[in-house]
């Protein structure tokens, strides 16, 4: 049987945990996560066999840094301006900082020559937004 003092201590501890949990929830709701980051690549393949070697090497590195493909060479249609490259890829990362970490990593730098010899490409990083309605040009 639990004595009154132990019971009071346990009740105080439970109340403290509940208050802490509410505080943590309110704090995390008040600080939104950073905007996502994106690697955008426009690629014109010159040597398909060599490009496949690059794709095979890049996949595990992209996953290692938390990247997820949103597009990967699917159909594209030029609506205005110059037409897009043969392949357009968009890779999403948890943050802009993470996209940069991936792009400038030794892991990726070591395999980039495979892409450079097999394709002409234009690659850039884009920071997403947490509030598109509030974004101003």
Instruction: Report the CATH number that the domain containing residue 71 is assigned in CATH.
Output: 3.30.70.100
Please tell me the chain's helix, strand, coil percentages from 3-state DSSP, rounded to the nearest 5. Answer: 50, 20, 30
Q: What's the mean pLDDT when you consider all of the chain?
A: 86
DSSP, residue by residue, 70-110: EEES------SSSPP-SEEEEEEESSHHHHHHHHTSHHHHH
pLDDT digits (tens, 9 = 90+) for 13-33: 555 555 555 555 555 567 888
pLDDT digits (tens, 9 = 90+) for 97-120: 999 999 999 999 999 999 999 999
- Has residue 10 been placed in a domain? no
Give φ, ψ of 63 to 5 degrees.
-65, -40
- Has residue 5 been placed in a domain? no
- Has residue 95 been placed in a domain? yes
For the entire predicted model, the pTM comes to 0.74
How many structural domains are present in the chain?
A: 1
pLDDT of residue 10: 46
pLDDT digits (tens, 9 = 90+) for 36-85: 999 999 999 999 999 999 999 999 999 999 999 999 988 999 999 999 99
Per the structure, the complete domain to which residue 121 belongs is given by 37-128
């Amino acid at each position: 049987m639990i004595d009154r003092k132990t019971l009071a201590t346990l009740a105080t501890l439970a109340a403290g945990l509940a208050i802490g949990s509410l505080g943590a929830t309110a704090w995390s709701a008040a600080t939104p996560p950073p905007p996502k980051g994106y690697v955008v690549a426009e690629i014109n393949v010159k040597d398909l066999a060599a490009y496949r070697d690059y794709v095979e090497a890049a996949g595990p590195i992209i996953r290692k840094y938390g990247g997820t493909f949103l597009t990967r060479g699917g159909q594209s249609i030029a609506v205005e301006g110059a037409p897009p490259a043969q392949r357009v890829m968009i890779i999403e990362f948890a943050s802009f900082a993470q996209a940069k970490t991936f792009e400038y990593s030794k892991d990726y730098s070591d395999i980039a020559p495979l892409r450079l010899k097999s394709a002409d490409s234009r690659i850039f990083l884009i920071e997403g937004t947490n509030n598109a309605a509030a974004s101003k040009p």
